[in-house]
Amino acid sequence: IIEVPIKDSREVVTIDLEHELPEDPTDLCTLLENESAESIYWISIASVYANKGLVSEAFEMMTEGLKLYKELDTADFHTFLAWLHIRQSKVAKTSDDQRASLKMASESIKLALAAQPTNVLNRIAQAEISYQLKQYDQALDFFERILKNDSKSTANVFALTGKAKTLFHKKNYNASLKIFQQVLILNPLLKPDPRIGIGMNFWRLNDKNMATKSWERALEIDPENQTAKLLLTLSKFDSSFNSLTDEDFISNYSAALNSLNEFVQKDSNNPVTLLILASYYYSKNDLESVLKVSQKVLSSPNASPDLLSDANFWIARTHYENGDFSNAQKFFTESLKSNPDSLLAKLGVGQSQFNRSLLDDAILTFESVYKNNQKILEINYILGILYSQDEKNHEKAVPVLERYIRLSKDKNEPVALNAYLTLSRLHENKDNSQSLSLLSKVIDILKKRGEDVPVEILNNLGVFHFIKGNPESANTFFKSAFEANQSEDLNITLNYNIARTEENSNTEDSISKYNDILEKSPGYIYSKIRLLFLQIISSDVKNDEELEKKLNDLLQSHVSNLEVRAFYSWYLKRTNRSSNDKGENLESKHNKETLVKYDSHDTYALISLGNLYCAIAREIKGKTPQDIEKKNQSYVRGAQLFQKVLSIDPNNVFAAQGIAIIFVENKHSNIALETFRKIRDAIDDVSVYINLGHCLIEVGQYSKAIESYEIALRRYGDDTKDSRYLTLVGRAWFARASAEKSLESFLKSLEYSIKALDVAQNTNLKKLIPSLKYNVAFVQFNIAQFIQKQNIAKRTVDDINKALEGLKEAIDTLNDLANDKYPPYPAEILKQRASMGTNTLINQLERAIKEQKEYEIKFEHRLKEAQESREKERQKAELEEQRRKEEEAKKEAQYREEYLKLQEQAKEWEREREAFVEPSFDEQDGKKPRKGKKTKNAINTDDELSGDDEKPVKKTKKSTGKRSKRKKDENATNGNVEGGDPEPKKRKLTSKKYLSADIIEDSDEDLEDFDESKLGGDDEE
């Protein structure tokens, strides 16, 4: 009920707004206008309209009111309008309508703030607008200003609530929780209940028990709190999905459904309840019911933009489940119109586009989502898979999928096997080792799960092991795949792969397998090629007419097959069939024919021709200008062919290295080095690092050469199997030792050389053993020569003994190699070197040992003398230091003693001063003498004991010379003043001479004018 005063009268008009509120506010506006009612009446009536849902009527009243008031009187109207627009934004159907309402609210609040800049309601409205626009940083700033600048606003629960809500959306849950708790303390009955916010923060902080208790308490305070009921229902669903047993799930899920059923029975049109029901129907695969309840939400007048977005989302999921991806994309898009920040709707759009084969559109959608959600596992995974399916985006796929795997491990989530498989496929053209590693992880995961490994994965693992030069491991995987395979067609491929791995270890078995394959599949060309290959490398093919006929027949039968043509080119090179009767180079002619007639981009033919031109250039030994020009032209032609291969296949390591080798041949080692480095960055292959190491040694960068060889050994080899790589590292250390004159580098070279020999002996590489033995002996010889020539101060007896021992081993090795059937070098050269070691170097080292011992004895003696001298100096310094400390201690004790004496003297003077103070008594009443008040650190002078109470006592002037004694009459008692009666004297202390608290000086000057006879002055007076 509101009472509106009648203008110029004491009467009022009473309006019952609860029961008599007219639907049309025109009459009320007329009444308020006629009576010139204050703004409070306009706003009160408008607020009633708004609370009853008659928002347009409330706007009408505010519009009419604004017409009547002057600009300075409209601030309250604008404040109310701003809040009314904010309220409208919360029930807007679309995000566009919401933004429009908030824009009008912002305009109204600007006008209100212009008139009332300190009004708290205006400032809270300003902050609320930013909050609704999701400008949380700005909103937080506004709320904090309100709380800081307004002394009363520390208890402003509305500003505190706004700040807490803003912090919640900024995911600062701890801070939000504390502020909601503060609001609860300030106003326990506030609506909306702060316990709801407290529970939401506890839920986000993973304390679901406290969250539930908060909502239960809110429900106790207000049994009709629908938000609390809804949140408790959702918490029951969450509990059911986290149940540990089936029984717990059934119990919790039933309780959640019962709570949901209560909601539906009380209000079957509640949009929130309907959306929960939609998710329940979707879980049951009752898609028709999902569509039905979602459509009901869309037609609800109370549905907010977020609820409308969710309704469209469930409709979209239903269409997606039915395979109707066009409609699914349509409704996912509608969902985004109501809530542009809906992450699930964005994902739905992208997935629908992918299923409609709109790969580019799907990638763009997920890229936009990825920008702000890089830590979400699913988005990383989906985007990585999409990139992998688009050839131009393969480079982007790798880091995204690797990030997905890393995030999964950080969050302790299982990694999708397809991520490893996809990464393996993406790496296989660049980094076989990485592909192999990824496939191995897949097998480990499958074994842990107890699942069978697919045949395709086993086969791929075998291929990668074979490429890396591990035929035994490859054979194991191929056989495992063969045993697990049930497809006859795939068995042919697996049998072929098994035969390939056994060509070196079991040639007869490989040949048998190839023949079996050809019996079952006569057109399997690769088996024919491998059979002919094995026959070529195991016999003298130059005079084997039958073999030549087979090769020609194969070529004629498959004249356009590039694999066959490449194999035939290799055969011509292998058998040195360089020319025919016409003098034509057969290999060159064959490769040119391949390029001209069959495929101008055949990389094998191009590289073969490039190598041929390089070989021609190297064979030109002449120094004439014509020879040099011809040589350069051959290199240029070879480089052009290699360059063409790289334009076709940028990862072709043979072409890339061919160009680099041409640079080296032309004495451009630095350019070659740069080229090899670029090749290394583009191609991950062992030959790159080997050639790079060779080139680095040429330019004298031995440390980097060693590093390059070690990378080749570490990444692509095995220091228990690959003696070749170990030998290269040893040679690099030897080159460094020779250049730097370093014994440590020589010893490193020896270490790797011995290791390479051990590996060759363990792996039964008989052909390499003699040359590796020679390498060890060669290094041992050089160490002996180096030690013998080394400065006597830089070597030790132990170094020489070890060198001598190594030299003797080297001599024995060289003698053994000289007697070997196939020595690595001519036997006479080996024997000559051994003889030189026996006759010369051993004697030199033995003399060096004797000289070194004498030197070390003398050095030890000098060192001992120096140490003794240093020890004496140290002891002397310690004694001097000790003496200095003792003197300082004595001085300190003396100072302390003097200080104590001074303190005692000061106390004595204090006692004497107290004795000088005279007792006083009242001569008028004749009472007993009273002790005078002690004057701290003061000495009474004669002037202080005389004088009149009424007359101020002059301060005694202190002369620079010796004070003169006062006359007795000055010390006597004053007589009558101007004939008056004598007055009794009163002692008065008016002046003090202070003693220093730190140092007391015995000064005669201070006591000079003190009359000792006055000590008994009271009796005399």
Q: Distance of alpha carbon 668 from its chain centroid, rounded? A: 43
- Taking residues 853-867, report their average pLDDT: 86
Residue 713 has pLDDT above 70, yes or no: yes
* Reported confidence tier of residue 572, pLDDT bands at 50, 70, 90: confident
Q: What percent of the chain has pLDDT over 90?
A: 33
User: pLDDT tens digits for 148-158?
Assistant: 876 555 458 88
Domain ranges of the chain: 917-954+986-1021
Report the alpha-carbon distance of residue 507 to residue 514 in Å, rounded: 11
Tell the residue number behind the tokens 């050089």, with chain if given: 782
The helix/strand/coil state of 901 is: helix
What is the DSSP code (8-state) at residue 3? E
- Whether the per-residue pLDDT at 643 is higher than 50: the answer is yes
Is the pLDDT assigned to residue 679 strictly greater than 80? no
Hey, what's the torsion of the CAs at 548, 551, 555, 561, to 10 degrees? -150
Q: Which residues have CB under 8 Å from 380's CB, separation 6+? A: 370, 374, 400, 401, 403, 404, 407
Give the pLDDT band of residue 380 (cuts 50, 70, 90). very high
The Cα 258–Cα 240 span in angstroms is 13
Please report the DSSP string for 245-258 in residue order. Answer: SHHHHHHHHHHHHH
Residue in this structure with the two tokens 């929780």, named with its chain if needed: 177
Between vectors from CA 236 to CA 377 and to CA 313, what angle results, nearest 5°?
50
pLDDT at residue 541, as a whole number: 57
pLDDT of residue 577: 65
Nearest CA to 387 out of 340, 350, 429, 438 is that of: 350
Residue 1018 pLDDT more than 70?
no
pLDDT above 70: residue 344:
yes
Rounded distance, CA 1010 to CA 1019, Å? 18
Is 918's pLDDT higher than 60? no
Report pLDDT for 540: 57
Q: What is the pLDDT of residue 958?
A: 40
Instruction: Read off the pLDDT band of 539 (50, 70, 90).
Output: low
Query: Sorting pLDDT into bands at 50, 70 and 90, what band is 684?
Result: low
Report residue 251's pLDDT band, with 50, 70 and 90 as the boundaries: confident
Tell me the percentage of the chain whose pLDDT exceeds 70.
Answer: 87
Q: What angle do CA 526, 528, 533 make, to 5 degrees?
A: 95
Query: Of the given ranges (69-83, 205-219, 252-266, 446-460), which has the lowest mean pLDDT?
Result: 69-83
Residue 459 pLDDT class (50, 70, 90 cuts): very high
pLDDT tens figures, 71-116: 546 888 888 899 999 988 887 777 788 889 999 999 999 988 888 8
Higher pLDDT, 949 or 844: 844
The Cα 81–Cα 744 span in angstroms is 88
397 neighbors 387 (Cβ within 8 angstroms) = yes
Mean per-residue pLDDT, 811-829: 87
Closest among 930, 907, 928 to 917, alpha carbons compared: 930
Q: Would you place residue 51 in the very low, low, confident or very high pLDDT band (cuts 50, 70, 90)?
A: confident
Is the pLDDT at 369 greater than 90? The verdict is yes
Predicted confidence at residue 151, as pLDDT, reads: 55
Cα of 40 vs its chain's centroid, Å: 58
* Residue 981 pLDDT > 50: no
Residue 970 pLDDT grade (very low, low, confident, very high; cuts 50, 70, 90) = very low
Q: What is the three-class DSSP state of 102?
A: helix
Under the banding of pLDDT at 50, 70 and 90, the label for residue 581 is low
Cα 904 to Cα 1000: distance, rounded to the nearest angstrom: 11
**Residue count (the chain):** 1021
The confidence score (pLDDT) of residue 775 equals 92
pLDDT tier, 695 (very low <50, low <70, confident <90, very high otherwise): confident
957-964: average pLDDT: 40
Check pLDDT > 60 for residue 1021: no
Give residue 659's pLDDT.
Answer: 87
Better-scored residue on pLDDT, 226 or 313:
313
Amino acid residing at 912: E
Which token pair is 408? 């999964």
When the pLDDT of each residue in the chain is averaged and rounded to a whole number, the result is 82
The two tokens of residue 552 are 């020609």
Write the DSSP string, 426-461: HHTTT-HHHHHHHHHHHHHHHHHHTPPPPHHHHHHH
Query: What local confidence, expressed as pLDDT, does residue 1010 receive?
Result: 41
Lowest mean pLDDT among 64-73, 598-607, 808-817, 976-985: 976-985
Residue 536 contacts residue 571 (beta carbons within 8 Å): yes
Number of H helices, E strands in the chain: 46, 2
Query: What residue type is 243 in one-letter code?
Result: S
Q: How is residue 434 written in tokens?
A: 């990485």
Q: What is the pLDDT of residue 24?
A: 82
DSSP 8-state symbol, 769: H
Does residue 985 surpass a pLDDT of 50? no
The number of angstroms, rounded, from the C-alpha of 500 to the middle of its chain's C-alpha atoms is 45
* 37 dihedral zone (left: phi>0; alpha: psi -120 to 50; beta): beta
Q: Which residue has the higher pLDDT, 400 or 303?
A: 400
